[in-house]
Amino acid sequence: MSCEVHHMEHAEIAKVGQEVKNFKMKAYDPTEGGFVDVELETIKKAGKWTVLVFYPADFTFVCPTELADLADKHAELTKMGCEVLSVSTDTEFAHLAWRTSERLLENVRYKMAADPTGAVSRYFGVYVDDAGVALRGTFIISPEGKLVGSEINFLNVGRDASELMRKMQANIYLKDHPAEACPAKWTPGQKTLTPSEKIVGKVYESLRE
């Protein structure tokens, strides 16, 4: 079986904790003002994290508010070593037209990837067959290609990029400290946990040591 997503069986879905198969898409790059190819293998070779932000469609209502919110965090995510890609089943040409006409998107600088066949959306389990669009899915892929984060919302619930930032901070920390674990609401500088028999039933005490 080929590792390219568009050759995969539709039943195969990316799973948290497992290696992500390679994918390639056309994209509109607002920074360069043109069309480019985006591919997971290229991002991995650059040693970057991949952040995929699926949304239902261009020229809709909640979507531009999400992409604008993501744009506000894009510079910070870039400094953290992330390649951010928004993804919908629209074409790269539709992305260009929408980015140009919708004022909420004027600060979007990340690449807007096109998945018109739904192949990548299906692989990540967000494709809605009877509508031909993607659910609001956010996926974090490590520089080694492992899927470490997955969040899927229904069509009518927008996301908060601040929580994506917190998850990225935690994942980056844990990459360098694999023996530790980050508790709820963890942010850099806060206490982590080191799982062992010593803290079974004693997590409260461990967090306050």
- Give CA–CA dist 80/75, Å, rounded: 9
Q: Which of 3, 63, 82, 182 is catalytic?
A: 63
Unique residue bearing structure tokens 């806060």 = 190
Unique residue bearing structure tokens 């497992």 = 18
Q: Where are the alpha helices (DSSP H) in 38-195?
A: 40-45, 62-79, 92-101, 119-123, 161-176
Catalytic residue check, 3? no
**What letter does residue 86 receive in the DSSP assignment?**
E
- Structure token pair of residue 113: 């990837």
Residues 143, 135: contact at Cβ < 8 Å?
A: no
The residues carrying an active-site annotation are 63
